[in-house]
Structure 1
């Protein structure tokens, strides 16, 4: 399934042009039987890399991602080593699925990397079981005081700060202006449009360009981010905090009815094509190959789609339920840097994270690769290094900054399976094997059971 990662989903005192001096800067858990082992993890336990804390040594840093991300990460790590010659860094990179298997097994065996690239889907599962260090304990080495507070809070699990957000992702609408022009369809006004408007516009594109195998909108109905955004517009949450309204069956029924309507009017392709598109590599998808005008994604993915399509792509706000209403978009942490609670090098690990998040020697290499930096000053630092498409993503984040609402809580520790459970239900609905009402009931029951 395409996610924010692929696609994604980012030094010694340095004087910036602002004149300020900066410091030097898990479904898999159950599958490997390591849940119980994680419960036994305790900060300060033995394990991790060699080398005394605060001195030299070798830091093991675990990451996932493609070759392009790995190369940039290695370049930034080399800059860190140059600024900190007594600390060596080893990058352990794995593809997405194998990453979580390896991390769960290593954690259970007391062999965690020192620095862990962490995802929203699993941060609570690891954080609630003592596997991740409280980053407040290394605040002398890791200063995130300039980070957007709402974004920083997404790294807090059970009142403990266990993940430093690397970047911001906004679930949004990617649009191919070339296809709209070919279809004779004007660019929609994303400050006023509704989901009904979106359906009609997408259907117009399909009607105009369908003979060429081009659709208005590539897929809808089986994505967790799609559902989360939809129910939030009704003031509900799939996994509510105390005091928030849980998702209701009627809301999910309307979601599935809308998905089916898109197919019926030709706005999206048949379910079989949508299913193939979901499992395709990014550069082979409908949107990436100029065969759909619209695509929902976390907004920094737009650069990867643009590179594949050969066109300059644009970003639009999500449609709202009614004209004039807020689409209730949120900032999502694209991913996090965490520190293993058992590391013997917590201070060096914190120095590394601080460097990667704040120092121009690293940030101007990584730019928006892991999301738009959540620190405004860093956004300024990287702007000259961005491609035109990267600039579009950054400007989109800045444009909607005053409009976003508080982000939802991260996926609860017990709910990592949601990322596979819900797409299964949604796929059954769009194939017509389950009615929208039945699918909605299963969806709500599944969410409740995971809590």
Structure 2
């Protein structure tokens, strides 16, 4: 996933530049999505033209277009038009086109929105498309992340593991040993990070570049406590768990293991190549693991990946496979069979997979992982090897973000930032977060 939108703590697009479509507006346009419409038309010459919507930078677009060109060569009766946008504009355009009964045939979908669209009839049931789209070789736990209300509305493109990237050169400079990620804890991370800052703080170098405002961070913290932010069964995130999360974030700042809140906020909105971790100014950075290539390219150093710390030594960190993104088909597409063929080609055909490699995550099909491994650069190979190493240890992933909760990440970040600045206590932040969660169920 080398050209993902600007990687952030927790793998989000830029939190302080993100403008999500209001949930109420999304509900309205998706209600309209079920209305009869003209749908997508043929090419005018007896063939079929598919519209494909994607988000991402120029590199991702170029690779996508190359893979699509190979598909068209293998399917001469099908034309494909790729419509690309940056993250924020993408969701605005998709909501508008869906309301106007003009949705693209094939839709690149994200975990935070798939339930919002899938639960309201805007996405086709991929399980009804027969041999045109065969997902049977995918790990069932990964495949299930594309289900909404039991219906397969998304085909996972790749997987990503929330993890910790480490810059060995910074640890070496600080005289700090590489931690054992099979036994370390959050307290160990705090202690090691504080040592790095103590040694190198005069040079503006910190142990970890930030913690405390990311929804992915909160998700893993709650899971390690036996809870989930969005549980299907079992306990929801409790007041005590949420408060302990905020208290840990404050501890990192108080011990100078992490920068002050103002520097963390500044870093979160910086361009990747100017960010703290990318400029070798921190030893650790939380991320979805396929983002490591972008940071390595910016830093000029070889970076490594570590498992998330556990709450106590010897406990499971309860890491999961997250679908990096999905391919979906619009429910009103007039060309579902051709759309399915395109998705199948992009996911499994060597003419596409050898072009895309890990661009949208570690491929969800194990056979494709084997196929592309020899083509990867060293840092992408680090990501693939890490994914393979932790897979046997992973726990089942949680449900996708509920239909009404697409805006949770943004609202949580705003609340958590107030705690980080000391304007709200951890207890008050926990109460506010629980109120946000309850309002979105």
The question of a shared fold, defined as TM-score above 0.5 by the shorter chain, is answered with: yes
Q: Distance in 1 between matches of 2:382 and 2:193?
A: 22
1:232 aligns with 2:223: yes
Deviation string, structure 1 residues 148-206 (Cα, Å, up to 9, x no partner): 11000000001110000000010000000111111111110000000000000011111
Correspondence for 1:129: 120
Q: Which consecutive unaligned segments of at least 5 residues does structure 1 have?
A: 10-25
Given that 1:44 and 1:341 are in contact with CA atoms closer than 8 Å, whether structure 2 keeps it comes out as no
Given that 1:4 and 1:298 are in contact with CA atoms closer than 8 Å, whether structure 2 keeps it comes out as no
Deviation string, structure 1 residues 227-253 (Cα, Å, up to 9, x no partner): 000010001001111x22110000111
Q: What is the CA distance between 1:44 and its match in structure 2?
A: 8.6
1:48 aligns with 2:69: no
Correspondence for 1:347: 337
Correspondence for 1:161: 152
Given that 1:124 and 1:157 are in contact with CA atoms closer than 8 Å, whether structure 2 keeps it comes out as yes
Residue among 195, 212, 219 paired with 1:221: 212
Residue among 258, 278, 288 paired with 1:288: 278
Aligned 1:130-209 pairs, distance under 5 A = 130-209=121-200
Residue among 236, 240, 244 paired with 1:254: 244
Q: What is the CA distance between 1:82 and its match in structure 2?
A: 1.1
Q: What TM-score, normalized by structure 1, do the two folds share? A: 0.92
Matched residue SS, 2:305: strand
CA shift in 2, pair 1:5/1:120, >3 Å: farther
Correspondence for 2:53: 62
Residue among 194, 201, 210 paired with 1:210: 201
How many residues are treated as equivalent by the alignment? 429
Correspondence for 2:73: 82
Correspondence for 2:260: 270
Matched residue SS, 2:28: helix
Q: Distance in 2 between matches of 1:104 and 1:397?
A: 34
1:361 aligns with 2:351: yes
Correspondence for 1:394: 384
Residue among 293, 297, 321 paired with 2:311: 321
Q: Distance in 1 between matches of 2:98 and 2:33?
A: 8
Correspondence for 1:311: 301
Q: Distance in 2 between matches of 1:94 and 1:40?
A: 23
Matched residue SS, 2:132: coil
Given that 1:43 and 1:341 are in contact with CA atoms closer than 8 Å, whether structure 2 keeps it comes out as no
Q: What is the CA distance between 1:4 and its match in structure 2?
A: 6.2
Residue among 425, 434, 449 paired with 2:424: 434
Q: Distance in 1 between matches of 2:35 and 2:136?
A: 24
Given that 2:50 and 2:81 are in contact with CA atoms closer than 8 Å, whether structure 1 keeps it comes out as yes
Q: Distance in 2 between matches of 1:151 and 1:281?
A: 31
Matched residue SS, 2:362: coil
Given that 1:43 and 1:131 are in contact with CA atoms closer than 8 Å, whether structure 2 keeps it comes out as no
Correspondence for 1:28: 21
1:335 aligns with 2:328: no
Q: Distance in 2 between matches of 1:338 and 1:51?
A: 21
Given that 1:220 and 1:259 are in contact with CA atoms closer than 8 Å, whether structure 2 keeps it comes out as yes
Correspondence for 2:16: none
CA shift in 2, pair 1:386/1:44, >3 Å: farther
Correspondence for 1:23: none
Q: Distance in 1 between matches of 2:47 and 2:272?
A: 40
Matched residue SS, 1:414: helix
Given that 1:147 and 1:374 are in contact with CA atoms closer than 8 Å, whether structure 2 keeps it comes out as yes
Correspondence for 1:245: 235
Aligned 1:402-413 pairs, distance under 5 A = 402-413=392-403
Q: What TM-score, normalized by structure 2, do the two folds share? A: 0.94
CA shift in 2, pair 1:434/1:327, >3 Å: same
Kindly report structure 1 stretches of 4+ aligned residues shifted beyond 3 Å: 3-9, 40-46
1:279 aligns with 2:269: yes
